[in-house]
Structure 1
Amino acid sequence: MSSLINKPFPAGAFSFQYITVGPEDFEKGHECKLPLTVSWEKFIKDNKTVVITGAPAAFSPTCSISHIPGYLSYADELVHDKHVDQIVVLTVDTPFSQQAWAKDLGLKNTAHVKFGSDPGCKFIKSLGFELQVDEGVTWSGRWVIVVKDGIVTYAAKEENPASEVTVSSVESVLAHL
């Protein structure tokens, strides 16, 4: 069990970046936008229930086939039935890669689902959820945190982030909401 559970969400001075995705982004000429920067503190304060899931890399096999598509498939159930205000998919990739990945996976609107970037892995490292890939190269591990009213109610990290999607799966989140 994670030491984060039943404690305030550790927002600190950290932020994340994302690029909005809407129906207009699938029309020619609307491909390129600048990222928005959002402080975790404000984001958590503005949303009652937030699910944040970390993935090693945009477009990677396990992330694109068996981890993140589950969150998109169950997004309506999470938002409407479980009252989740926001779902954030977080990697250390650029916001531009995240936007392209979101669109590739079929995300049509970022009203409740955001594909965020943690440049330099600073926030993810503060959680202890990083994945050391090589000397000087750090990615996000595969993990999930559920935050309700600013308190972490569920947090788990995969032991084998290269291939496992168990404790960080949408099914595990649904079981803990």
Structure 2
Amino acid sequence: MTQRVPNVVFKTRVRDESIGGDNPFRWQDVTTDEIFKGKSVIVFALPGAFTPTCSSTHLPGYEEHYDELKAKGIDEVYCLSVNDAFTMFQWGKRQEVNKVKLLPDGNGDFTRGMNMLVKKENLGFGARSWRYSMHVVDGEVKQLFAEPGQMDNCPDDPFEVSGVDTMLDYLNKQ
């Protein structure tokens, strides 16, 4: 049986020059169909914007190798986190991300549907995504790299298989 991505609506913010002022953004719903239908997409999910491994290694790695991923037939690369659109936007600005698209899963609906929602109450984070990456073609998960030891309130933050190097190795073998 093949796994399909969950059917959810992401609450995003998009720039709209017609608004003017200091905050020229409006809410825009984005469906999983809009992201995945008819496309080859990489999604990597992480526990949180502004957190150490996510900011120092995970997101920068995919940003650095974005063009290489595109050259392998990938239409888009998304970084997903159980954070709101405002937090993801500010994190993207701070990280100087220009290629990878940041996808806020504020309510954790997508993450829950992927069976990757974990409690991180031991860190005061509430519910967050377990760290993973996946290759999705037309809404079907072709390959999933989930970090080992998925559990609620994990005492550490494994980062072994969801980075860009693993994804590039996988794509090179396709």
TM-score w.r.t. length of structure 1: 0.79
Matches within 5 A, 1:1-177: 7-12=2-7, 14-20=8-14, 32-46=24-38, 48-79=39-70, 81-108=71-98, 113-134=100-121, 137-159=126-148, 162-177=156-171
Report the RMSD for the aligned CA atoms in angstroms: 2.5
SS for the counterpart of 2:120 is strand
Deviations 1:46-87 (A, max 9, x none): 5x21011111010000100111110000011111x2121111
- 1:108-166 superposed Cα distances (whole Å, 9 cap, x missing partner): 35xxx210111221110111111211299211111111112332111122136743322
CA distance in 2, matches of 1:32, 1:98: 16
Instruction: Read off the aligned partner of 2:102 and give its amino acid letter.
Output: F
Partner SS for 1:176: helix
Kindly tell me: are residues 157 and 8 of structure 1, through their superposed partners in 2, closer, same or farther at Cα, counting changes over 3 Å?
closer
**What is the TM-score normalised by the length of structure 2?**
0.80
Could you tell me whether the CA contact under 8 Å between 2:6 and 2:114 is conserved in 1? no
Paired residue type of 1:18? T
If asked which structure has higher relative contact order (CA below 8 Å, sep 6+), I would say: 1
Say how many residue pairs are matched: 160
Larger Rg: 2
SS at match of 1:164: coil
The residue aligned with 1:3 is none
Report if the CA contact (8 A) 2:147-2:161 is conserved. yes
- Sequence identity of aligned pairs in percent? 28
- Residue ranges of structure 2 left out of the alignment (5+ in a row): none
Compared CA separation, residues 71 and 31, structure 1 to 2 (3 A): farther
